[in-house]
Structure 1
Amino acid sequence: MDCSYYAAGRCRSCTLLEIGYPQQLVSKQAVARDAVGPTAWEEPFRSAEAGFRNKAKMVVAGTVEAPSLGILDGAGLGVDLVGCPLHEAPVAAALPVLRELVTRARLTPYSVPERRGELKHVLVTASPAGELMVRFVLRSTEALPRLRKHLPWLRERLPHAVVVSANLLPQHAALTEGREEVPLTENQLLTMRMNDVDLLLRPGGFFQTNSAVAAGLYRTAAAWVDDAAPGSVTDLYCGVGGFALHLARPGREVVGVETSAEAVDGARLAARRRGSTARFEVGDATAAGDLGADLVVVNPPRRGIGALAPRLEASAARLVLYSSCNPSTLARDLAAMPSLRPVRAQLFDMFPQNHHAEVLVLLERSGV
C-alpha cells in the first residue's frame, strides 16, 4: 500500500507498512500458532491491503478556517489525514465534505494544548451498502443549532448519510466519545448487512472494523458450528448479535448476552425482522449465570475473558467458540481451560499494516 502520509513522516500508525503483505500474514500466523498451539489450522483469511476500514475516528484540530481531520502530533497539534488510504470509498469520499462543514457551520476545533474549542472528533462508519453514520463529538451543546442549520447542506452533499448525531464529551480526557448522544436525524440505526443477515448498529455501538473480513468470520463460525451441530448456543459479549444471528437455526436455542442495552435492543429488532428465534439479554458476560449450553461463544475485548475462563472450564459446555483480537490474552485464557482443547483455528486479518488480527478457535471438551 502506498501512503504519502507515511512517506512524509506525518503518520506512522501503520507499523507494518514497509513489510510486504504476504510476510505480514506469515508473521501474524506464527503469533497465533504460538498462542493456540497445535490444531487443525486453516489458511489465513486475507483482507484487501487498502480501502478496508469501514470507520474513521478523526481528531479535529486547527482553526475554523483551516480545520484538520486526522490525528495529533507530539505537541497536540492536528495532522490532517483526510486522504488516508485505509478507509473504504464511502468514508474517504465523506471526509473532505465533513472538513468543509466545520468551516461552514463555524464549528471551532478543540485545542488540546489550550483546552478550548467545541468540536473534538468526527466519527464516520460505512455500511456494506455504502450508507453512512456520521457523529460529531462536541464539548457542549453550544454548536448544536449551527449543526442543525447546516444539516440539509450536509445531507445534500452526502445523501447516503442516513444516521447523523452529536455526542457530548465535556471533559478534557483521552476519550473518543462521551455518554450522551443527541440525534440529528430521525433514523438512528445503520444496517450492516453481513452475508444474508442484517445487523443494526446504533451510534456508539461496536462493530468490526473490516466488513469483508467480518462477513468471512461469521460465515466460518456458522459452518464450524453447523458441523458440530450443538442443540443450544450461548453467545457472550454478543454485541449487536453478529454471531448469534448467524448461528441461529430451526431447533437450535440461541441466547445472546451483552452489557449494552442499546446493542441488545438492536439485536432484538434485527431478530424480529429476520424472523429468528434467537433471544438477547442484557447482562455481564463474565458473570453469566447459565453456562450449560452445548456451545458457548465468547468474543471479548482485548483484555480477554479472564475470570470467565475457569467458569467455562468447570461448566457443562461441550464446545467453546472463541473469537480473539489479542493472542496474549487468548493464550492465557486457553491455559485456564485445559479440558477444552483446540480442534480448529483460523486467522482473520481485520487489520492489515499493523500487528493486530482476529483469531477464531473452536474448542472441544476432551473425553466427550
Structure 2
Amino acid sequence: MKKNECFPMTADRLGADLEGICIHEGMPVFVPGLLPGEGADIKIVKAEKRYAFGRMESRPDPVSPDRREPDCASYPRCGGCTGRHMSYEATLAAKRQQVEDCFRRIAGIETEVLPILGMDSPCGYRNKTSLPAGGTAEHPVLGFYAPRSHAVIPAETCPNAMPPANDLAAAFLGWMKAFRVEPYHEETRRGLIRHLVIRVNRKGESMVTVVANGSTLPHQQELIDALVPLGTVSLWLNENRAVTNVILSEKFHLIYGRETFTGRLFDLEFELSPASFFQVNPVQTEKLYQTAVDYAELKPTDLLCDVYCGAGTITLTMARHCREAVGIEIVEPAVENAKRNAVLNGISNVSFQAGKAEELLPRMVNDGLRPDVICVDPPRKGLDPAVIRAMAQAAPERIVYVSCNPATLARDAGLLRDEGYQVLKVQPVDMFCWTSGVETVVLLSQT
C-alpha cells in the first residue's frame, strides 16, 4: 500500500478519534468521517509499515443510520470536533466502547463499563473558548486551527461555546477590523493579536484575555466599550512574545474590571483568574464529581487525600462528607486558588500542599499519612509509578480515579491491580460533546 493509491474500503469500527477503521489486505486504514458499515473509495494519504491513513474520495455507500448532517459550517475543517457527522447517541456509544476496549486490551481487565452519562442538550456547553487570530489587518479572522496544522479556519460561531462567547468574539473581531489591528503571523513573528481567550460563567459574566505580541493594545477604551455591554467583568492582556505553541505566558496586565470572577459547581463558588484551570463543561462536571463523591463513600470520620487537586474543586466538593481532606498540586498558583476557594466557601477541614505528586505523596506517606480514600485526577500521561507505589503503601480502603485518557487509566488500573486493588465500577462521562474526548470515573477497592 502506497501513498496516493486508491481502493474501495468498508469501515469495520471506530477508532479513538471517532475515525473509521478499515482493514485492507490485513492492514488497518484510518479514515476520518467514515462510519462503521459504510463503504467508499479511499485514497491513501500516509502509509506506515503497520497502518495507513486514508481520505474519502467518494460519498459513503451504503449510508449509516448514524450519519447526520453536521450543524456547523466550519466542520470538519476546524479541528475542534471529530464527530459532528454522527448522531449524538453514536458518539456516546463509541466513547463507551473506547473505554471498554482500553481496559481489555491494555490491562487485560474484563469489567462492565456503565452507560456513559451524556448531556440532555449537547450544545453551548464550553465555558472557555480559545480562538487563534489569523488573516490580515484589513481582513482579520478568529477561528480554530485545522487538524495537525496552524492554519486558522475562520469560525463565525461555535455551537459548543457557552453564550455569550460567540457575541464577544464577534465584537472583538469588529474592533480589530475597525482599527486595523494586525493579527500575529508565526512565520514572520510580526503582528499583535495571537489569541482571544473567553471564559464565561453561568451568570453570563465573562473574563476575556487578549493574548498579544506586545505589552499594550491600541484603542483600549473602544475595546472595553465593545465588550462590557456583553457581560465582560474582567479584561486582561497576556503578553506573549515567545516563539511557542503555548497560548498563555506568565505576563498578565489587567485592562479593565476585576482580577477574578467566579465559576459555580453545585452550591460552591470558585475564584478564577485568567490562568486558573476549571473544567470546561459545568453541567457534566457536576455529574462527574457527583459520581466521584458517590464512589468515595466518605464517612464523617474519614481522611481524604486528593492528588492532582488543581484549584481544589474535587477536594472541596468531597470535604463536606469527611473529617479532613488534603490536596496535592504541582502548580503553586492553583494551590493559592484552592486555599482562597476554601475560605470563600467557608470550608475549614481542608489543607493544600504544593509540589510534585511523585515526590510529595511518597514523603507524606513515609511521614505517616494514611487516608481512608485517595482520589486522583492526573493529567493525560496518567500516574507516575512513584505515586502508585505510595498509594499502595498508604493502603486506603478505596481509590477513586478520575481520568481524561482511557489508555493511561487502563494501564494504571492494571498496575494498581498488581498492588492488590480491584476495579469495581467504571463510569464514563461525556464532558466534551462531539469530540473523541471522554472522562471516566473508576472505583478501585482492596481485594
Q: How many Å separate the matches in 2 of 1:228 and 1:38? A: 30
How far the C-alpha of 1:147 sits from its partner, in A, is: 5.5
Could you tell which deviates more after superposition, 147-156 or 291-300?
147-156
Residue number in structure 1 paired with 2:168: 94
Q: Which has the higher contact order (CA 8 A, sep 6+)?
A: 1
Residue number in structure 2 paired with 1:54: 127
How far the C-alpha of 1:78 sits from its partner, in A, is: 3.2
SS at match of 2:256: coil
Residue number in structure 1 paired with 2:289: 218
How far the C-alpha of 1:300 sits from its partner, in A, is: 1.0
How far the C-alpha of 1:23 sits from its partner, in A, is: 1.6
How far the C-alpha of 1:241 sits from its partner, in A, is: 0.9
Aligned letter for 1:131?
E
2:328 corresponds to 1:254: no
Could you tell which deviates more after superposition, 239-248 or 197-206?
197-206
Residue number in structure 2 paired with 1:300: 378
How far the C-alpha of 1:26 sits from its partner, in A, is: 1.3
Aligned letter for 1:44?
I
Q: How many Å separate the matches in 1 of 2:150 and 2:188? A: 9
Q: How many Å separate the matches in 2 of 1:236 and 1:345? A: 19
Residue number in structure 2 paired with 1:161: 232
Aligned letter for 1:258?
E
Residue number in structure 2 paired with 1:27: 94
Q: How many Å separate the matches in 2 of 1:268 and 1:40? A: 38
- Matched pairs, number: 361
Aligned letter for 1:300?
P
Choose from 206, 209, 214 the match for 1:135: 209
Could you tell which deviates more after superposition, 334-343 or 115-124?
334-343
CA change 1:105–1:205 in 2 (3 A) is farther
SS at match of 1:218: helix
Matching of residues 63-78 of structure 1 within 5 Å: 63-72=136-145, 76-78=150-152
Residue number in structure 2 paired with 1:354: 435
Residue number in structure 1 paired with 2:343: 272
How far the C-alpha of 1:40 sits from its partner, in A, is: 5.8
Note the residue ranges of structure 2 that are not aligned, 5 or more in a row.
1-69, 104-108
Aligned letter for 1:193?
R
Q: How many Å separate the matches in 1 of 2:175 and 2:301? A: 51
Residue number in structure 2 paired with 1:282: 354
Kept in 1: contact 2:397–2:446 (CA 8 A): yes
Q: What TM-score does the superposition give when structure 2 sets the normalisation length?
A: 0.75
How far the C-alpha of 1:346 sits from its partner, in A, is: 0.7
Residue number in structure 2 paired with 1:2: 71
Aligned letter for 2:444?
L
Q: What TM-score does the superposition give when structure 1 sets the normalisation length?
A: 0.91
CA change 1:296–1:190 in 2 (3 A) is same
Aligned letter for 1:45?
L
2:197 corresponds to 1:123: yes
SS at match of 2:115: coil
- Partner deviation per Cα, 1:264-296 (whole Å, 9 max, x = no partner): 222111111211122222222222232421111
CA RMSD of aligned residues (A): 2.2
Q: How many Å separate the matches in 2 of 1:196 and 1:189? A: 19
Q: How many Å separate the matches in 2 of 1:76 and 1:332? A: 32
Q: Structure 1 stretches (4+) deviating beyond 6 angstroms?
A: none
CA change 1:274–1:28 in 2 (3 A) is same
% of aligned pairs identical? Answer: 28
SS at match of 2:424: strand
Q: How many Å separate the matches in 1 of 2:323 and 2:219? A: 47
2:165 corresponds to 1:84: no
Aligned letter for 2:352?
F
Residue number in structure 1 paired with 2:400: 321
- Partner deviation per Cα, 1:327-367 (whole Å, 9 max, x = no partner): 1111111121111212222111011222110000111111x
